[in-house]
Structure 1
């Protein structure tokens, strides 16, 4: 559409005005120069239902409660100190995945499925440690709910196009979204109530002597604070839902795209694995301390996210007041989308933009923080993905472990499929199925 209609264009769906921008210069005006004006969300009916009225981080407008939640998430879960404190969970769960894959050597493995399960275990242990639900099917349940939620978020909804029709919920999107939200709400309610009951049986001294608090306990402490606006139970659940859905979907879909591109380019796989041998060796397992040295793997992940950003249009914004972008008037309350897909594939920004070439990121030192508006798959400005510090670690750790421990091939007669499915997040239409084989000489490393 950007090639057909230009760097900025508008269209109407019902009574709703939509504007799409597709150049780094115009993106800069929205996400940096006028970030305050454009930091509200376009709150669709489905988004409001899943977020309990915009009480989370992802779909809330820029308001004091949003800033408070984001601050809690950033400082209490994703600070360098707390990421280091939860490092053992990541190591143990990634090792468990390597062991699980080893047990499936020579058979078909669904890449997205194993990564989603790994990320779910890491996140749930980080949030509620071992005091949570020990359910082997939890990853599958969350995966199913996540897929349903993202599908519903991506559906065109008459209630959004014609707000006068919203009370009738003609497509039953609000009803179906509430059903999916309630499934996770019931899980969170059970875990929170169990923790509160457990805490009541202990004195404050006993709770404090247990050492580092998990994220759930931190949230409960904020809830009990004697502030003018303490954290509510609804906000807690909305935040937990953001963490689980955002963290699992981003990592699983990205790694599936990375693996697809690497398997499509055997020379790139060889180079990645050569780097892993040089940095990690063949008699060790990947550690987090290795990740910063894996420059070619890092470049390969970035090249994948350049071509296949998980959110090609980012989450839409809505200006809090009428503004001007690129000389055009942008009315208050309209929907504005930043076309990251087009910017990251534009030949004016990238040489041979459709070629999968990780080398370009060995010389172009882009990061994920949205400072370079030629490459910002996780957003920029106030709406930069809040889970980025953990997402970046998990992307690299899981990818390095899978490629260091195993060689991968397609099932006989199968070809790689790059068909896409877009429902707010973009993932492969058909799952990547691959066959692992042992790479490391010492079998005990897999145990």
Structure 2
């Protein structure tokens, strides 16, 4: 009931705000759009973002919890060249991408207590670079300036700095893949090398989080909407598939060798699917489903999980539909993952102290979406997003749908922070330049005749 009230109030507020002029703000943004986004300004935003992350980590240094602790232990196995095996004895339950990356940091820096903070700060710097590149491809300097600022100041990303969240490197590789895909799709004729590079980045993201494996469907939908020529589009998609195969195949071959079954990345898919679709499912994380699958070997466990989950969906379509709505709300409705895991779970901080950080995190998230909604409502009838920006919508929709079927949670939208930041920046730039520099909208908006 509370969620319904919040949504209705937000829609009403957005409708009212859409009717306001904001002339002073828009004129200031238009003047800012005239200035190039220089490297010195970008560097200053990086410094601000790093200071916020390091400062928070100094005050609230938290030991790794839950998944973060497991990833660190698995990274240590890579470092020691020991067999990849979790404490339960499973050989491929945990996707290897994030532990591989952490092992690289451990190899360079040693087993320092700040390894997660350092790695997450590196992810922030690289993500900011990728977000700037994506924004400049799709729009202009104002979009890049706004998008990088949004990423640098994002409370949830700052509060996640002390933890072992695989979503932060996933955010990086997803953004890089988008940059490379757009670059490849805009070349005249086939661009297999750029496509392969986009596929490698997407393959790396898949090794971190296997749900990325089907993301080329969003790329294909973008090419279809763009009415791309058939052969170049096919070549591009095949090159992306090749790049993904190059990134994923070595681990798949390892799995065949140790499991004697073809498992592309991990064996956790079926178990997660069943936990998300069974009589005890809540939409979010639960420890076990009605049937305890952990009594089975991991390959059989995954296959049985998919079978039982599909059976429950067939037999309970109404419950599945209601649960899908709950999952969508969990995916979209909260942005306090960092506050919960760092402050409450790791450090035991509760009360107003914890509530304050949670409120700030969620207000920032709400402000971003309220801004997007207001800007969409201000667009004249017949005006639509440019095809480049439509790609970002397709990517967000892909993960929204995936989470309506599998297990959902607020942390699952963290990899989409770059997508959201660029959308906010691009729509603000389009609105600011609408009256001052109408020609600047050509890259941002298309007018439907």
Fold equivalence (TM over 0.5): no
Higher strand share: 1
| Higher RCO structure, 1 or 2 (CA under 8 Å, sep 6+) | 1
- Give the TM-score, by structure 2 length: 0.24
- Give the TM-score, by structure 1 length: 0.24
Higher helix share: 2
